[in-house]
Structure 1
Amino acid sequence: MAAWVKWFGMAGLMLALGLAGLAQDTPEAIAWQVTEPVTIDGSLEEWNKSTPVTISKASQAVLGGYLWGGSYDLSATIYLMWDADNLYIGAEIQDDVPFTARPGFKPDEADSIGIYLSTNPGADPTREAYEPTDFRILLMTDGYDFYTAIDRDMLQDPMGIETGGMYGDEQVIEGYEAAVVETRRGCVFEAKIPFAALANDLIPKFTPEPGVKVGFDLELNDIDMPCPGVGAKSMAWTGSSAIRTSPAEWGVLVFQAAE
C-alpha cells in the first residue's frame, strides 16, 4: 500500500510539474497602457517600444513556408498599447514587395496582419475550440483602403457578431483607424481597434485593467503578386496554422500599467 501511495504521489508531482512547465512555456506579449489617446498617423515616436513582439524566423512560417525568402521578404517587429476603450497595434514591417492587394482578395491572402484575441480573461487557455469571446481580426496593410475582416466561421453560435469582410473590400470594424508609412525596407503600420467593436448585447465589452491576461496571437500574411493563383504565405508569433481553429495554440497578452 505504501508503495502505491508513493507512486501516485510521484505521479501527481510529475503531472503538476508538467503543467507548470506548459504554463511557463506559453509566450507572453505586453500591451502598455497609455494615458492619452494615440494619434494614428503611421509614426511610432510616442510608442513604448520596450517589449516588442518579433516575427522573423523560418519556424514561424505556418502556411506557404516554402515561399518565405527570409526576414527581408517578410518579418515584423510589433508593439501593443491600450486604454480603456481601444487596443493599439504598431508594426515595423519588412516586406520586399509591400502594399500588395487586389480587389476581391481575401485579407489573409494579401498583405495583412491577423490579430487573435480573447475578450474573456477567465477563458480556459487549453480550450481547443473557439468561444464567442474569441476573435480573429484581419487588418489590411496595403496602404490604400485599410479594409478589415472578422472571421467567426469556426463558431457554431457567434452570438450576433458574424463573419464579415473575409472576401475583401469591406470595412467591418466600427471606429477603426489605421495609417501606414512606406520605409526603405517595407512600411510602418499603426492601427486602433475599439473594444466596443467586439461586443454586443450578448457579448460584454471588454475593459482591460493592469495585470489582466487574455489569449492572444499575431499573424503576418503576405502576397508578392496581385494575381489569382499566386501563393500567399502566413507567419505566426506562436503556434501553427491551427491557431485559426484552436486557441490552445495562442500565447497570452498582458495588459501592463503605464510606466
Structure 2
Amino acid sequence: TDVAGPERIYTTDGLYAGSLLKDQHRGDILDEYFITAENFAHLVITDPNTRETWLIGGYDGVNYYRILGLEEAQRLGGTVKLQQMAAPATAVSADSADGVTTLGSKAEIFFVQSADKSVRVDGDLSEWNLRLGAGPITPDPTDAQMTAIQGATVFGSYDAQNFYIAAHVNDLTPLRNEGHLTERWWYWDSLQVRLRMPTDAVQLGLYYDSKIGRHFAWKGSGGPKGYSTIVPDFAPAKVATKRDAAGKGYTLEASIPWAELDKQFTPAAGARFRCGLQMNWNGPIPNEYSPTHNAFWGGGQFFTIPDQYAPAVLLPSTANHAMAVMPAGSDINIDGDLKEWGTTDVALIETDKESKEFQARVRTAHSADHLYVAFEVNDSSPMKNVGGDIRTAFKTGDTVEVFLSTNPKDDARRDEPTAGDYRVLMTYLENTKPVIAAFRAVITGQQPVYVASGGGRTRLDRVEEIPDARMAVSRRKDGSGYILEAALPWNYFGVNPANLVAQADFAVNFSDRVGRTNVLKTYWSGSNAMVTDIAQELRLRPNQWGWIAVIGR
C-alpha cells in the first residue's frame, strides 16, 4: 500500500502496519516500531556499521527480520518487506540465557514480602516494610541527575488474598495522565506490571487520570503475552496515589486479588512467578508518546517473552535482607579468580557507608551439587591467621563465614539455634592450610557441649571440617584485599537446592596487622559484632539473619 508520509511504513502484506518513531534518547541506533493491527510493539535496531536494519519481535519467541527498502520508505513513502532471518551475530538480547535480566553484573530479582500489617490502599506506605525494592528504575541508571527527576523504586507485598505493589516515583510533573478516554494511558505517568504466573501471562497498567479525576487499573490476560483479553477498567483491583509534599514526585499503591491473576497460585514464602516492570513519565507534548520518558526493569519491555521476566520470590515479613543464589553459568574453578562467574546477586558487607575500608562484596551461585560463594574483601592485612586450631580460628585472625538454616519449619524469629542451623568458617590456618569448618550448635541426640567465658556460655556440640569442600584465596598485588572462593557440597547440609528459600547470613572477621587476633567483625544482615568474648562470638542468632532464594536455570 502507499504511505502518505515518510514516518508511516507498511509491509506489503499489511500485517505489520504502524509508525516508526525515532528514539531521541539513544539517537538513531534504536527505534520503536508499533504494530497497530495486533497491538504489539517490536524493536527496530539499525546496525551502525553495516546500516542493516532489523525488526525483532514476534508472538512465538523472539524472531529476527531484515527490513528491506526502509530508507527509501522513510524518505519517499512506500512499502517495505520483511525477510525472516536467523539472529544476527551483533544482536544483543535484553535477557541472559537463564532468563534473568542484568544491570551490570547484578541480577534483577523481585522480592515480595509478606505484609506485616493489613495493607490499606491509600497511597500511604507507612504500613509497608520497604526493605526490599526493585530499582532504581530510570531511563539512565548511570545518571544520578536523571534518577532524581525520573527515577522510581517498586515494592511488592502479599497476603492470602492480594498481591500488593507500590512505587515511589521522582517526577517533576507528578500524576499527569489524560489518556484513559484515548486508550493511550501509557503515554503518560503510569506503572506497567508484566507478570508470568504459573498458568497465565498477565499485564497490568496502573495510573491516575488527572482529566477524569479517577484511578484506573488496566488488565490484559491470556495468550503468549497476556493480551488476548483486555479489560480497560479492571474493577477488582484497587489503585491509589499520593503526591509528594514538595510536588516533585508521587507514591502509587495498588492491590490485585491473587484469584484474578492465577486461580491456582498459592501465596506462601518460597512461591515464585516472573515479573517485568515499566515506568512511564508524561512526555513534553500532551498526548504524544515519548520513548525517552519510560524505563524498564526485569525485562519489562513490551517485546520481552514473559518467561524471561525477572524472577519474583515471595518471602516472609521477617526478611530484612534478601539475596538470590543464581545458577552457575559454567563450571566454576575454585582458584580465587572469578572469571567464570556469570550474573549474580551481590551482598554488601560494610562498617561505614562512606569508607571502602573493611568492606566486602559476597557473591553466590549454585549447581546441583554445590553452593558456590565468593568474598571480595577490602583488607590491608589480607587473609592472615596464625592460629592452628579450627575451634578457635575466629579468634586468631582473618576468617569469612556463611550462616545457613536448613530446616524450613524452624521459626524465623527464633533467638536460639536448632539442629538445622550451620555456621561455616573459612580461613588459612597458620597462614598456609586451607580449612572449611562447620560449627554445629545443636546435634540431635547428643549430650550438649557448652563453651563458657565471661559473657556466659554458648552451646556448641560439634566443630568439624566439611568433607569435599574446596576453597582458594588470591591476594591483590597492592595488598589492599583478597578474594576467597569456595565450593560447599549441598549433601553435607542435607538439603535439596531446587527452589530453596532459607535464612542465611555472611560475615567477615578482620585481623590485626600480623594476623594474631581478630579486631573487627561485620555482617551482611546480623549485628553480633563482638570480638572480645568467645562465648558471645560463638552464639548464633538466626532471627538476625537475612534470606537467600535459589533461582533455577
Q: Secondary structure at the match of 1:164?
A: strand
Q: Secondary structure at the match of 2:462?
A: coil
Counterpart code for 2:489 = P
Q: Secondary structure at the match of 1:147?
A: strand
Does the 8 Å contact 2:325/2:344 carry over to 1?
A: no
Counterpart check, 1:90 vs 2:374: yes
Partner residue, 2:425: 138
Partner residue, 1:3: none
Partner residue, 2:356: 71
Does the 8 Å contact 1:113/1:219 carry over to 2?
A: yes
Structure 1 pair 93/227, CA: closer, same or farther in 2 (3 Å)? Answer: closer
Q: Distance in 1 between matches of 2:409 and 2:128?
A: 18
Does the 8 Å contact 1:49/1:79 carry over to 2?
A: no
Shift of 1:49: 4.4
Q: Secondary structure at the match of 2:411?
A: coil
Q: More helix per residue: 1 or 2?
A: 1
Q: Distance in 2 between matches of 1:136 and 1:40?
A: 21
Shift of 1:150: 1.9
Shift of 1:119: 1.5
Within the candidate set 525, 545, 551, 1:250 is matched to 545
Does the 8 Å contact 2:466/2:492 carry over to 1?
A: yes
The CA deviation string for residues 130-184 of structure 1, in whole angstroms up to 9 with x for no partner, is 111110110115762111222223x37476995225xxxxxx1100111111113
Q: Secondary structure at the match of 2:412?
A: coil
Does the 8 Å contact 1:32/1:255 carry over to 2?
A: yes
Partner residue, 2:411: 124
Structure 1 pair 55/49, CA: closer, same or farther in 2 (3 Å)? Answer: farther
Counterpart code for 2:374 = G
Q: Distance in 2 between matches of 1:118 and 1:208?
A: 12
Q: Distance in 2 between matches of 1:158 and 1:193?
A: 25
Counterpart code for 2:487 = K
Structure 1 pair 217/119, CA: closer, same or farther in 2 (3 Å)? Answer: same
Partner residue, 1:207: 496
Shift of 1:31: 0.8
Residues paired across the two proteins, number:
221
Counterpart check, 1:237 vs 2:520: no
Partner residue, 1:62: none
Within the candidate set 443, 446, 469, 1:176 is matched to 469
Counterpart check, 1:107 vs 2:402: no
Structure 1 pair 15/37, CA: closer, same or farther in 2 (3 Å)? Answer: same
The CA deviation string for residues 166-223 of structure 1, in whole angstroms up to 9 with x for no partner, is xxxxxx110011111111321111100112223xxxxxx201113x310000010011
Does the 8 Å contact 2:318/2:413 carry over to 1?
A: no
Shift of 1:114: 0.9
After TM superposition, list the pairs within 5 Å mapping 1:50-65 onto structure 2: 50-58=344-352
Counterpart code for 1:34 = A
Shift of 1:231: 4.8
Q: Secondary structure at the match of 1:232?
A: strand
**Can you give the 5+ residue segments of structure 1 that lack an aligned partner in the other structure?**
1-12, 60-68, 166-171, 199-204
RMSD: 3.1
Structure 1 pair 20/156, CA: closer, same or farther in 2 (3 Å)? Answer: farther
Q: Secondary structure at the match of 1:121?
A: coil
Structure 1 pair 158/236, CA: closer, same or farther in 2 (3 Å)? Answer: farther
Within the candidate set 466, 471, 485, 1:190 is matched to 485
